[in-house]
Amino acid sequence: MTPADHGNDPLPPPVVAALRCSVCGDPIGAAGRTLRCGNRHSFDLARQGYVNLLHARIPAGTADTAPMVAARADFLASGAYAPLADELARVCAEAGGLVVDAGAGTGYYLARVLEASEAYGLALDVSAVALRRAARAHPRLGAAVWNLWEPWPVGDGVASVVLNVFAPRNGPEFHRVLRPDGLLVVAAPAPDHLRELGDLVLAVDERKDERLDATLGEYFTRTGRTEVRREVELTPRQVRQAVEMGPAGFHLDRDGRRERLDALSEPQAVTLSFTVSTYRRKG
């Protein structure tokens, strides 16, 4: 079965078993292409294979747009961030059960983790546009639209791994859905990531690692941290995609940024720099 074929199938049973009704919190079951709880709240799978569990519209500027998602998909397909995906796969190689990717986007990193393990994957993201791609990224992956800042429609202690790559960090929910022996894996840009692009991208706080540990410290103990860093040459197209796919993609009309991107004609040497941190639950 190819990932594209998988996008037309119901969600994998282990993913359905982990989900909860986003109205009442009860377990849900699958009946064909519909998820339904005992109180008869139901959610239909979209044609592309994901399920939307939200009840309200997301404010503008919150969810990745179609152009941002298209830029990210093309950029990641070029292999520029493959070393990061490989490191995440290495860290999660022993994972079984369920990996929950909080802020999964197109499912690129989660699919790589699933390729290296025997686990199933649940991709959570607020962007339905992104999850159209994630739902097709791997046969053992299921995708659900959800706002990560809200209590998740996921059962207690169902995940062996929570994966969080450049996405919002909801420490209480990470802790709740992880098994007692579960692993939290967080990937974040380092301060020198894409520094050569200047104000075309959002600057990374020099104290980001400290803030990360402070944010999660009430619920987790850090057990490891590795750096993934390389110098690469990006084509003008890749530079444009790297800018358009991130938070700066919401602000391209400011300060002539779009014009500067359009004027690029030569390859650009840039630094790709990330940290991958692992945590274990407290309590």
Per-residue pLDDT, averaged over 154-172, amounts to: 96
Over residues 259-272, the mean pLDDT reads 86
Task: Confirm or deny that 226 is annotated as ligand binding.
Answer: no
3-state SS assignment for residue 12: coil
pLDDT for 228-264, tens place per residue? 999 999 999 999 899 888 776 666 666 667 788 777 7
Asked whether residue 193 is marked as a ligand-binding residue, the answer is yes
pLDDT at position 152 over 70:
yes
The string of pLDDT tens digits covering residues 178-236 is 999 999 999 999 999 999 888 777 666 666 677 778 889 999 999 999 999 999 999 99
- Please state, for a pLDDT cut of 70, what percent of the chain lies above it: 90
Average pLDDT of 26-41? 95
Q: At what angle do helices 108-115 and 82-91 cross, to 10 degrees?
A: 50
> Comparing C-alpha atoms, which of 107, 116, 114 is closest to residue 48?
107
Question: Cα–chain-centroid distance for residue 184?
Answer: 13
> What does pLDDT average to over the chain?
90
Q: What is the pLDDT of residue 202?
A: 63
Supply angle C-alpha 192, 198, 200, rounded to 5: 115
Report the C-alpha gap between 236 and 225 in whole angstroms.
32
pLDDT of residue 64: 87
24 is in an annotated binding site: no
Q: Give residue 274's pLDDT.
A: 96
Supply the pLDDT for residue 3. 45
How many angstroms separate the CA atoms of 209 and 135, rounded?
Answer: 31
Give the bridge partners for 224, in sequence order. Answer: 278
Q: Which two tokens stand for residue 276?
A: 């991958």
Give the global pTM.
0.91
Q: What is the pLDDT of residue 1?
A: 36
Q: What pLDDT is attached to residue 4? A: 44
Measured CA to CA in angstroms, residue 91 lies from 9, 97, 163 at distances of 29, 15, 11
Look at strands 141-145 and 51-52 and give their pairing.
Answer: parallel
pLDDT for residue 156 is more than 90: yes
Domains in the chain, please, with CATH? 13-281 (3.40.50.150)
The answer on pLDDT for 7 being more than 50 is no
DSSP β-bridge partners for residue 273: 229
Judge whether residue 69 has pLDDT over 60. yes
Please give the helix or strand (H or E) that residue 211 lies within, else none: helix 208-216
The C-alpha angle with vertex 71 and arms to 202 and 9, in degrees rounded to 5, equals 125
* Ligand-binding site membership of 62 (annotated): no
What is the secondary structure of 263-276 as a DSSP string?
Answer: T--S-EEEEEEEEE
